[in-house]
Structure 1
């Protein structure tokens, strides 16, 4: 099969086909056709992880943009490995082939070390070779540089996630490189919520994504955090929203109401256009997914689930929702338990958007239409507790009788099962 185009709808169709009829051979194009729509990058990574896990990493990946006998092979390979989904296929697939079906060796990717060097030295714009304003922070399970070093420190010969203040310094550095025109005051303002989001999600994946639900470390795995700064305007909104109405609605609402919207003359037509910058933060891991890890590590009635088919979709959904409730934790650390809750509540304060994909579930948070609908529905419910499930299946999390955030099904259609957990977050900046 061929890797899907970079749009949520296309990727979900490809994931569904993986679940129904697995084609072991996967063709990776040399470059993504057209624009990679919002939330699609994390979905592509998760698609690759799911394909590799389903084939037990024994099947072939064909890199159609590579010619191992060409004089510029090493340069082309390094450039392509700056795309996180290409790197995932290179690491997780069984055998690797070029466009002419010539066998490739994993060690030929030595040029990728330059991206890791750039990441370690805080030269984040050099972690890829694209024209985008972006930063790729990736680590490979079992590799010599397994951890995303800017976010980690050594403590008693062990790597651990840095304190939030130190992570904030890193995030400020990333923003300063992606948006050099931002004033220092605004850099600090944006970096504070982003640093909190990043630290919580990185620590979460560090706890749970490096090993399966039984606690056995994966032989192969990947964790990725990417930042992408995109200017959205009236002309390109539809390209970055793709076919998805949720993203379209969210971008349009911000483009018409956000305080930082700029009105500028475009290059394509006489009228002015509205323009607003968005930071897309993607966090993907190749772990067991939220439901299986919760069931295996919850405080009581622990249950090891080898395959999601062993549990009902309802039980899976209940397990995922438990991960977001305040003070729920499966880490055994009483000081934890507000991580994902705090991430979601911060998104509400910052007018953010979230797409969460794990197991057989896909949720969204952040559209104004959904917020208005949920607030209207809540008037019919007893909101004395910290959680309400609405009749339409929306999960609402409360504090002092007020909605803090919600998780609503991405679509009415069932989605195929995926490996790992993927967060796609949009923040207007």
Structure 2
């Protein structure tokens, strides 16, 4: 089975094939130069899901010949993509393009990446200037990377907000070197809040399975990417999702800077806007299984989401977003995902959530207006904290007003993935 082209639609098609006869070997071609929004997180989750399902899985790195003099350089470029590094860590067997086995310590490339992450050397964590990758590799000697964690090996804890803000600012300064200081501070404030909330959530939900047994191998990834989108690139970056397309078009219409039509086939001025894409991906059991084993009133362990009906799984995921809901056992927690959604509304952000057999989105001012209109048309009791509209949209209320919503990413049935991914777009 080959890693697909970097669009969400092709990745979802590959997820559905994970149960098929060709899923024993995963082929990883050279990285694509173009990746649509949310594809990076989708590819990482695809590899994680494949590794969890394939006890004897072989990861074949196509285009990389271990006997070739350029082996180390090519491997370095490939492992700069989180999905490839996840395959390197989690696959049972690694081979080159000719099927020859590769040792995990080959060329020290993997160790060099851990060094770069641990030493705050962000330019070395991604093969291009447009991204920064920070990965915690469970089962390795350095699971808790220093940029986000402090303390001794036996007592690691997430750094305070101010310290993480310095890290996020440094990451953004690397990928957005032309930004003035005021803009860097403004975007990093929001990105830091989202990063810290979601990392903390991932730490609680992702390191152990539904029984509470720690995984021997796993990944928790935080990635930053800066993408410039203009009128002619909307279709490419949005794929087939009309909600993403509407979000990009609306953002361009309201916040973009107009540039002369140099190099444009349409011979007219183009609107252009930068987006920070922030993704948090983990290799845990997923939101529904973790909630049912730790947070639900009637707790039970579910080894596979296929044991649940779609309705049961959806109800469990939505429970994670209810204000003050927690599965950690810590009564001081429980506001994390709710706070993330609140901040997205404030910053006009867009979210894609993928977990189990479900995918949801939040975003676009037009969708918000539509939902507010539906609340009136369907005569909903807006004093309630949570409402479900007739079209299946989940609406979360605060003080009689809609705070945020979760709407299905697609009407098509999705394959099951391991872990949870949150991918967020922030207009910059």
Fold match, TM over 0.5? yes
Please give the residue correspondences for 1:111-122 in structure 2 after superposition, counting only pairs within 5 Å: 111-122=109-120
1:273-294 Cα deviation digits (max 9, x unpaired): 1000000001110000000001
CA contact (8 A) 1:35 1:239 kept: no
Aligned to 2:425: 426
Q: Equivalents in 2 of 1:309, 1:359: separation in Å?
A: 9
- DSSP-derived class of the 1:150 partner: coil
The equivalent residue for 1:181 is: 178
* 1:79 counterpart residue number: 77
Separation in 1, partners of 2:122, 2:352: 25
**Aligned match of 1:287 in 284, 289, 293?**
284
| 1:74 CA drift (Å) | 1.6
Question: 1:24 touches 1:55 (CA, 8 Å); kept in 2?
Answer: yes
Once the two structures are superposed, the pairs formed by residues 23-422 of structure 1 within 5 Å of their partners are: 23-32=23-32, 34-56=33-55, 58-108=56-106, 110-130=108-128, 132-154=129-151, 157-258=154-255, 260-269=256-265, 270-298=267-295, 300-379=297-376, 380-422=379-421
**TM-aligned CA deviation for residue 102 of structure 1:** 0.9
Contact kept in structure 1, 2:105 and 2:111, CA below 8 Å: no
Shift of 1:96: 1.2
The structure-2 alpha-carbon separation of the partners of 1:109 and 1:247, relative to structure 1 and needing over 3 Å to count, comes to farther
Q: CA separation of 1:262/1:150 partners in 2, compared to 1, >3 Å: closer, same or farther?
A: farther
Q: Secondary structure at the match of 1:104?
A: coil
- Aligned-pair CA distance for 1:168: 1.0
Contact 2:226–2:275 (Cα < 8 Å) also in 1:
yes
Shift of 1:112: 2.6
Aligned-partner SS, 1:136: strand
Q: Is the contact made by 1:7 and 1:243 (CA closer than 8 Å) also made in structure 2?
A: no
How many residues align? The count is: 425
- TM-score, L = length of structure 2: 0.96
Tell me, yes or no, if the aligned pair for 1:264 and 1:275 is still in contact at 8 Å.
no
**Aligned Cα RMSD in Å?**
1.5
Alignment partners' CA distance in 2, 1:222 and 1:18: 19
How many angstroms apart in 2 are the aligned matches of 1:41 and 1:93? 19
What do residues 369-394 of structure 1 show as CA deviations (whole Å, max 9, x unaligned)?
Answer: 32222111011211111110111111
User: CA deviation digits over 1:227-261, x for unaligned, max 9?
Assistant: 00011011222222223222211111101112x53
In 1: Cα distance, 2:69 partner to 2:312 partner: 54
Give the drift of 1:358. 0.2
Post-superposition offset of 1:335: 1.1
- Name structure 2 gaps, 5 residues minimum: none
Deviation, structure 1 residue 356? 0.3
Q: Distance in 1 between matches of 2:345 and 2:276?
A: 15
